[in-house]
Amino acid sequence: ACPPLRRNLQLLAPDEVELAKMLLNEGQMHLFEHWPEPGVDDDKKRGFFDQVRRLNSSYPGGLVSYIQNAKKLLADSKAGKNPYDGFTPSVPSGEVLNFGDDNYVSLEAAGVKEARNAVFVLVAGGLGERLGYKGIKVALPRETTTGKCFLQHYIESILSLQEASCEMVDGCHTKIPFVIMTSDDTNALTIKLLESNSYFGMEPSQVKILKQEKVACLADNDARLALDPNDKYKIQTKPHGHGDVHSLLYSSGLLEQWKSEGRKWVLFFQDTNGLLFNAIPSALGVSATKGYNVNSLAVPRKAKEAIGGITKLTHVDGRTMVINVEYNQLDPLLRATGHPDGDANCETGYSPYPGNINQLILELGPYIEELKKTHGAISEFVNPKYTDSTKTAFKSSTRLECMMQDYPKTLPPSAKVGFTVMDTWLAYAPVKNNPEDAAKVPKGNPYHSATSGEMAIYRANSLILRKAGAQIADPVVDTFNGQEVEVWPRITWSPRWGLTFKDVKEKVRGNSSISQRSALVINGRNIFLEGLSLDGTLIVNAVDEAEVIVTGHVHNKGWTIQHVDYKDTSEKEEIRIRGFKFEKVEQLEVNYTEPGKHSLSA
Ligand code: UGB
C-alpha cells in the first residue's frame, strides 16, 4: 500500500513490520511517503521505529488506541460537542474543616496514625510554562528565609509523618514510599537535585522516579500524526498531562507491591504548593474516618480563578458524579445550564463550587481494582486551535491530554467519592504565574506567584502560632513586582517541629510575642517557645535529643526586606521572580548539638 515503505522493509525487525502495518491501517501512510531508497538515512529510519515503539508501549492500548481516541475526540470537537452534554451542575456537599477545633485536631491525629500506611506521589513533569522559570519548579525555594526548596520541604514532611506515625504504633519501622513523576523536561534535573543533596535525608530506596513519555502530535482532523518540523524521521510530541500518573503507576507494578506491604492510601500532589503538608494529616484523617475511596482537597474558590471547581454533575439518565470541572469549562457549562452569570461569586464572595487543589487521596484497594479494568487510562480531551470557523485545519499541531483528577470519571456509582474543604491560608499557595501575569490578576483574586507563595508561608505560620496562643504582630501591606501582599513576620519551622496543630500548641507555652519586622527559624524537634519576646531575627537549631526552652527578650537589627525588580538581571532568577530579598543585618543564631535540657534565655 505504501511503496516507499515496502522498499525499505528489509531494514525493519519483525516487530517493526507489525508496527508499520498498524500505522498504515490507521491512515498514517504520510509518515513514510518521503522515505528514500534503502542506503539513504537508514539509521534515521531505524530511529523512527525506536520512537514508534516507545510511543506504542507508553500509551494504554498502544498507538492504535491513541489514534482512534484522537479521531473520535477531534470529530466531537469539530462538531462542537460539549463534553458535559446532558449533565446539570450543582453544588456538592463535602467535609468542611475548621482549623484548630476539636474535630480538626482529632482528624489530624487519625491522619498521622494512618500515614504509616500511605504512599506519596508527586506529579512533577510539568515545565511550568506559565511561571517561565528556567529550572525545575521543585528546586525553587519554598521561602527564602531558610532557602529550602519545595522538594526538600516535601521530603522532610514525609519523613516527619513517617516518624510520628510509627511512634503511635508499636513495632512500626515503615519507610513511606515516595514516587516522583517526571518528564523529559524535568527528569535529569530532578535526579540531580536529589543526588546532590543526599535525597534530603530520605533513603534513596524509598524514592522511585517514573518518567512520563510525551504523546504524538496530531496534524489534522483525521488524526494524522505530525512529523517534527525539524526532523522528518521523527513524530512531533507534546506532554499528555498529569493524568499519565495513573497508567505509569499501574504499569510500574508498584501498586501490587504496596498492597502486599499492607499499604492503604495513595496521596497525589503537585509541584509547588508550600502549604500542602499543613493539610495532609487532617485530610488523611477524613479519608480514614469516612472511608472515602477518593478524597479531593479543596479550598474556597474565587470565580474565574485558574483552579478547577468541584461539581456535582447529574445526567438526564439519573447518573451522578462529583468531579472537578476544569476552570475553562465551568463557565460555559454553567451558562449552558440556566446560570446566565456563569462562573460568578455568590454572597460569600466566593464561587459556590469549591476549588480543586489537585491533592487527591485514593484508597489503594479500590484504586487497584479500577486500574485492573482501565490500565490507568484516563478520560482525555483535545484542544485544537483551528485556523477558522470551518474547523478544518489547525494553527499548529495538537495532541490528546488528560488530568489526574479525572480518575473518578470511570468509577461505578457505588464508589465513595468525597472532598474536604480547608482554609486557603492554611492549605494552598501555588507558584504558577510569572510576575507580569500575576500583576494583572483581578484585584482580590490570588496571584499564585513566587511572591504570594512565599508570603503565604509566613502568613500561615503566623496565624497558626496565633491560634496556639502566641502574640503575633499584624502584617504590613507592601507591593512587590506589582503585587500587593501582606507581609507577616517571617516565621518558619522544620516539619518535625510543627507537623500538626497539636504539636505546635504543645511547643508554644507562656506568653510569647513576635514583632512584624522579625524573622524566626525553628529547626529542631524539641524547641519550646516559653515567654519569648522577639524583635529582630532569631534562628534556633537543635539536635533531636536536645530540649531547648527559648525565653526572654531577643532584640537585634534583624533582616530587612529589599525590593528587587523582576527585570533586574543582576539578581538570581529565584529572587527576581519574588521581587524581594533579605538583607541580613543582624541576627541571633544558636545551635544545640548536645543532648539534654538547654535554655536560651536572652
Ligand atoms: N504536570 C505533570 O506532571 N505532567 C504534565 O504533563 C503536566 C503537568 P499545572 P494545571 O491546583 O492550581 C491543575 O500546569 O494543569 C504536573 C488542575 O488541573 O501547574 O493548569 C505539574 O508539574 C486544576 O484543576 O496546573 O491545573 C504540576 O505539578 C487546579 O487544581 C501539576 O501537574 C490547578 O492545578 C499541575 O500542573 C491547581
Centre of ligand 1 from the C-alpha of residue 123, in Å? 8
Q: Atom 11 of ligand 1 has which residue's CA nearest to it? A: 357
Tell me the C-alpha distance between 488 and 76, whole Å: 50
Q: Is 481 exposed, middle or buried (0-12, 13-18, 19+ CB in 10 A)?
A: buried
Nearest residue to 296 (alpha-carbon basis) of 443, 139, 417: 417
Nearest residue to 105 (alpha-carbon basis) of 504, 508, 502: 502
Centre of ligand 1 from the C-alpha of residue 265, in Å? 21
Please give the pLDDT value at position 93: 85
Please give the pLDDT value at position 211: 97
Q: What are phi and psi of 248, to 5 degrees?
A: -65, -40
Centre of ligand 1 from the C-alpha of residue 307, in Å? 9
Please give the pLDDT value at position 601: 82
Q: Ligand 1: list residues with CB < 6 Å.
A: 123-126, 181, 183, 239-242, 270-271, 307-308, 324, 326, 356-358, 403, 405, 430, 432
Please give the pLDDT value at position 474: 98
Tell me the C-alpha distance between 220 and 396, whole Å: 9
Please give the pLDDT value at position 443: 85
Q: Locate the ligand 1 atom nearest the alpha carbon of residue 326 and give its number.
A: 24
Q: Locate the ligand 1 atom nearest the alpha carbon of residue 308 and give its number.
A: 24
Centre of ligand 1 from the C-alpha of residue 241, in Å? 8
Centre of ligand 1 from the C-alpha of residue 242, in Å? 6
For residue range 401-419, what is the model confidence (pLDDT) as tens digits? 999 999 999 898 889 999 9
Centre of ligand 1 from the C-alpha of residue 162, in Å? 26
**pLDDT category of residue 444 using cuts at 50, 70 and 90:** confident
For residue range 63-80, what is the model confidence (pLDDT) as tens digits? 999 999 999 999 999 998
Please give the pLDDT value at position 81: 86
Nearest residue to 463 (alpha-carbon basis) of 486, 494, 495: 486
Q: Atom 24 of ligand 1 has which residue's CA nearest to it? A: 308
For residue range 295-332, what is the model confidence (pLDDT) as tens digits? 999 999 999 888 999 999 999 999 899 999 998 899 99
Mean pLDDT for the stretch of residues 22-36: 96
Mean pLDDT for the stretch of residues 512-536: 97
Nearest residue to 292 (alpha-carbon basis) of 375, 200, 343, 367: 367
Tell me the C-alpha distance between 307 and 428, whole Å: 11
Tell me the C-alpha distance between 211 and 186, whole Å: 9
Mutate to test the pocket of ligand 1, among 242, 244, 325, 330 (most ligand atoms within 8 A of CB): 242
Please give the pLDDT value at position 456: 98
β-pair partners for 514? 472, 534
Are 520 and 571 contacting, i.e. CB atoms less than 8 angstroms apart?
Answer: no
Q: Is 317 exposed, middle or buried (0-12, 13-18, 19+ CB in 10 A)?
A: exposed
Locus of grid cell 510525551: 214
Q: Locate the ligand 1 atom nearest the alpha carbon of residue 130 and give its number.
A: 14
β-pair partners for 483? 480
Mean pLDDT for the stretch of residues 200-224: 97
Q: Among 143-157, 176-190, 306-320, 452-466, which is the least confidently predicted range? A: 306-320
Please give the pLDDT value at position 510: 85
Within 13 Å of residue 475, how many CA atoms lie on the same side as its CB?
A: 20
Q: Locate the ligand 1 atom nearest the alpha carbon of residue 126 and give its number.
A: 22
Q: Locate the ligand 1 atom nearest the alpha carbon of residue 270 and give its number.
A: 28
* 601: DSSP letter: E
Q: Atom 32 of ligand 1 has which residue's CA nearest to it? A: 242
For residue range 547-592, what is the model confidence (pLDDT) as tens digits? 999 999 999 999 999 999 999 999 999 999 999 999 999 999 999 9
Centre of ligand 1 from the C-alpha of residue 89, in Å? 23
Q: Locate the ligand 1 atom nearest the alpha carbon of residue 448 and give its number.
A: 12
Mutate to test the pocket of ligand 1, among 121, 122, 123, 329 (most ligand atoms within 8 A of CB): 123
Please give the pLDDT value at position 7: 93
Tell me the C-alpha distance between 52 and 45, whole Å: 11
Locus of grid cell 508570603: 455
Nearest residue to 263 (alpha-carbon basis) of 324, 176, 185: 176
Please give the pLDDT value at position 306: 86
Nearest residue to 531 (alpha-carbon basis) of 491, 471, 596: 471
* 273: DSSP letter: B
Report the percent of the chain where pLDDT is more than 90.
93
Q: Locate the ligand 1 atom nearest the alpha carbon of residue 324 and give its number.
A: 24
Q: H or E stretch including 532?
A: strand 527-535
Q: Atom 5 of ligand 1 has which residue's CA nearest to it? A: 241
Nearest residue to 409 (alpha-carbon basis) of 365, 353, 360, 344: 360
pLDDT higher for 129 or 426?
426
Q: Locate the ligand 1 atom nearest the alpha carbon of residue 269 and give its number.
A: 28
Mean pLDDT for the stretch of residues 490-505: 97
Centre of ligand 1 from the C-alpha of residue 431, in Å? 11
Long-range contacts made by residues 345-352, C-beta under 8 angstroms, separation at least 24?
345/302, 345/303, 348/300, 349/302, 350/300, 350/301, 350/302, 350/303, 351/300, 351/301, 351/302, 351/303, 351/305, 351/309, 352/91
Please give the pLDDT value at position 602: 67
Q: Locate the ligand 1 atom nearest the alpha carbon of residue 241 and give its number.
A: 6
Centre of ligand 1 from the C-alpha of residue 581, in Å? 28
Report the percent of the chain where pLDDT is more than 70.
100
Q: What is the CA radius of gyration of the chain?
A: 26
Please give the pLDDT value at position 129: 86
Mutate to test the pocket of ligand 1, among 130, 270, 330, 448 (most ligand atoms within 8 A of CB): 270
